Amino acid sequence: MNVAGWPVMAHCCATCPFGEDGDPDLRESVISRIVTLQASQICHHPALHGKRQTHLCRGARTFQLTILHRMGMIAEPADQAFNEASAMAMRGLKA
């Protein structure tokens, strides 16, 4: 599934694995994918209620932003910096 361009949730949902009461096993599984940039995490909360999934997970993205910033891959741990770096990378792939 191509989730490029999907919006990121504004806040962590009530069942976010990155929240205070989040599932540590699920969190570790998500971290292994997002840190290696294998995938962005889709917010699972709508699926728990039989609704369509349309957004990326805020908790996973916030964690990813922190790591990418610490690695020097983005200027600041913010969505805008991530989007700018992603756009530059995509332009480089098309060249």
Per-residue pLDDT of the chain (95 residues; tens, 9 = 90+): 778 789 999 999 888 999 988 999 999 999 988 887 777 899 988 777 778 889 999 999 999 999 999 999 999 999 999 989 888 887 886 65
Q: What is the pTM of this model?
A: 0.83
Looking at residue 52, its pLDDT comes to 83
d(CA 55, CA 47): 11
Q: How many CB atoms lie within 10 A of CB 57?
A: 25
Smallest Cα–Cα separation from 15: which of 4, 30, 2, 5? 30
Looking at residue 5, its pLDDT comes to 82
Q: In the chain, count of helices (H) and strands (E)?
A: 4, 0
